[in-house]
Amino acid sequence: MNEGHLVSVIITTYNRRPYVKAAVESVLAQEYADKEVIVVDDGSDDGSAEEMRGLPAGYVWKENGGISSARNLGISLAKGEFVAFLDVDDLWKKGKLATQMRLMRETASLISYTDEVWVRNGKRLNQKLRHRKYSGMIYGHCLPLCIISPSSAVISRSIFEEVGLFDETLPVCEDYDMWLRITCRYPVLFVDKPLIIKHGGHPDQLSRRYEAMDTFRIKSLAKILSMGVLTAGQRRLTFDELKKKCAVYAQGARKRGRLEEAEKYAALVDKLVLYDGLQDTR
């Protein structure tokens, strides 16, 4: 899994011209030589393509379709046995790829992720306890929120052949959805080193466009419950998390005066509680 195992690095971008070159160069600077770089431009009209001139990396432009469609196109073009991702406003630190590939080889892991440095508006942030990261069968830890940053992950392409690609119906939280599908089946190796730099605070970040992020997580939870891939223990954890998220969302909608929406999710909680009670009596 060291040199000799090709890693396809997929960088997705949309109107991020000031960041493209630095992101690509942070990958090209990796000591791990057996890699290819694929930049998927999701419909930029800001001249991002000009930043690619002279860089030894592949570049493909597509009509805007969202980050999932961009990542999926990158996966379809990838030639590597392993796939890694980098969001264009993030950076890889030196040694990132070599460290992961070495540790994955030593532990026979098919997926790994790393710790990260958070920078928002130019200032470094401390991660909170709820963002703590884990190794092993970490499905339960992934239910409340994403603990795996796509920019830190390296994944065997065989995993995508089993769990499928990113859900293109989700405009956000598509990574949450993917990690649920992966971590319920596979152990994950956490590399306890801050090997990526995540930049936040941009006014046009996807997370700022959608106020109700939990609606998309609720959709993912309902979906995975319907797939028939969870163990009994995983189903219980997922069911409990779904009830919790629906209740919290209903409460928030009520506070904001969105009463119809609040009633919809409150009614869903009641149905889930009723279903849970019927299951317990069997």
Distances (CA, A) of 114 to 80, 100, 130, 135, 202: 20, 8, 16, 10, 23
pLDDT tens digit sequence for 190-214:
999 999 999 876 555 554 455 678 9
Is the CB of residue 60 less than 8 Å from the CB of residue 73? yes
How many other CB atoms sit within 10 Å of the CB of residue 79? 10
Closest CA to 16 of 35, 55, 44: 44
Contacts of residue 277, defined as CB under 8 A and 6 or more positions apart, other chains included, come to: none
Task: Decide which of 205 and 91 is more confident.
Answer: 91
Give the Cα separation of 214 and 229 in Å (integer).
22
- 167-179: average pLDDT: 96
Number of H helices, E strands in the chain: 10, 9
pLDDT at 157 over 60: yes
Q: Structure tokens of 209?
A: 């466009």
- Of the listed ranges 116-120, 163-167, 202-206, 254-258, the least confidently predicted one is 202-206
Buried b / exposed e over 161-172, threshold 16 CB at 10 Å, is eebebbbeebeb
- 135-144: average pLDDT: 97
Task: Decide which of 39 and 256 is more confident.
Answer: 39
Give the Cα separation of 111 and 212 in Å (integer).
30
**Alpha helices per DSSP H over the chain:** 17-28, 67-77, 96-107, 139-142, 157-163, 174-183, 206-209, 214-226, 232-255, 259-280
Give the Cα separation of 281 and 61 in Å (integer).
55
Residue with tokens 């919809």: 264
Closest CA to 269 of 253, 238, 248: 248
Give the Cα separation of 113 and 130 in Å (integer).
17
Residue 30: which pLDDT band, with cuts at 50, 70 and 90? very high
Distances (CA, A) of 255 to 214, 244, 245, 247: 16, 17, 15, 13
Instruction: Enter the pTM of the model.
Output: 0.90
Distances (CA, A) of 36 to 42, 175, 240: 19, 22, 42
Mean pLDDT of the chain: 91
Closest CA to 15 of 146, 205, 189, 187: 205
* β-pair partners for 225: none
Q: What is the pLDDT of residue 3?
A: 55
Q: Structure tokens of 175?
A: 């990574």
